[in-house]
Amino acid sequence: MGQWTIGPDAIGVRLDKYLAAPARLGSRVRALAAIDRGKIFLNDREATPADAGRRLCAGDVVRVWMDRPGSARRRMALGDERDLPIVYEDSRLLVLDKPAGVLAVPLPLERREAARSVFDDVKEYLARRRKGRPHVVHRIDRDTSGLVVFAADAAAQAHLKSQFTRRTPERVYLAVVHGRLSPESGEWRDRIAWDARALMQKPADSRDPNVKDAISTYRVVERLAGASLVEVSLVTGRQNQIRMQARLHGHPLVGEQRYLDAATKPTDSARAIAFARQALHAHRLSFKHPDDERVLRFAAPLPPDMSELIRRLRRAR
């Protein structure tokens, strides 16, 4: 992975030409292939083929993620049946182990990119079997891996969403965060509001009409070199909640790009922990089946990139 901030010497250069430089990808063919396969990010947004000719501006941030999971093929070709990461399926719902780097659900129309989503893959999968279409129950971030559930019909969706509204499902994540937490277990309780313009959560107080409580519990699973492996259980389920709360409590996620500020940026030594995405994985999920209320429990092992990160930090400890 490489990341560059555009300075005066590159202002006005096309993105594909900038990437083709010998110090970066080395050729325009490699640059266009990397863009086509979702390996290039411009200002924390996945670049699309339409961005190849974009002229760069001062301060633009170009990021290359060559080993991004799911990027070995064209992004539009992600979802063939044998690659769909189904953990559980019955006539009412599907549970999937979503890889990092893939959207859980399509972006809103005004932000739609040429990027496939797991929702699209499930839709294709069900259509081939003449089983209708998927219904969104909840979602996780594009660069967060792990468990996500879709309903197979509207009634199942309503039943499952009501559980999430009532906060009854168990949702447990594994995260690698900078530093050592003290105490090693406890609760994060914050007030946040979604900034629709910046597309991110921000701290808020009771005067903000959009303020919402964000509550998580955490425990340190293992101390690592300059970091900690932490288990985080959601009480509330706000968008980007763990990423925001980790930052607010002084321990941003390793690999975090968005939820950083001057007060919580990692130290120079911590910044040396290289990782291509936020180190966050939806590890365990449990909820009641919409038919008979039996409790379904699922667990997804850590993906290879996070497992390798943890091994690397253990060796350095």
Q: What is the pLDDT along the chain (317 residues), one digit of tens a residue?
A: 689 999 988 998 989 899 999 889 988 878 888 887 788 888 877 787 767 888 898 888 999 987 776 555 444 333 443 357 889 999 999 999 999 988 898 876 545 555 668 898 888 888 877 778 899 999 999 999 999 999 999 999 999 999 999 999 999 999 999 999 999 999 999 999 999 888 899 999 888 899 999 999 999 999 999 999 999 999 999 999 999 999 999 999 999 988 986 555 555 544 568 898 999 999 999 999 999 999 999 999 999 999 999 999 999 87
Same CATH topology for 2-64 and 75-316?
Answer: no
- Ramachandran region, residue 12 (left: φ > 0; alpha: ψ -120 to 50; beta: rest): left
Q: Which CATH class is domain 2-64?
A: alpha beta
Amino acid sitting at position 122: V
Q: What is the DSSP letter of 281?
A: E
Report the pLDDT value the prediction gives residue 183, as an integer from 0 to 100.
96
Q: Give the pLDDT score at 77.
A: 36
Do residues 55 and 13 make contact, with C-beta atoms less than 8 angstroms apart?
yes
Q: Which among 73, 81, 83, 78 is positioned nearest to 103, based on CA atoms?
A: 78
Residue with the two structure tokens 């259980």 = 233
Question: 109 CB contacts (<8 Å, ≥6 apart)?
Answer: none
DSSP code, position 152: S
Under 8 Å between Cβ of 259 and 272: no
Q: Where are the domains of the chain?
A: 2-64, 75-316
Does pTM top 0.85 for this prediction? no
Residue 242 tokens read as 């763990």
Give the torsion through C-alpha atoms of 229, 235, 240, 243, to 10 deg.
-30
Q: Which CATH superfamily is 75-316 part of?
A: Pseudouridine synthase (3.30.2350.10)
Block residue for tokens 């974009």: 54
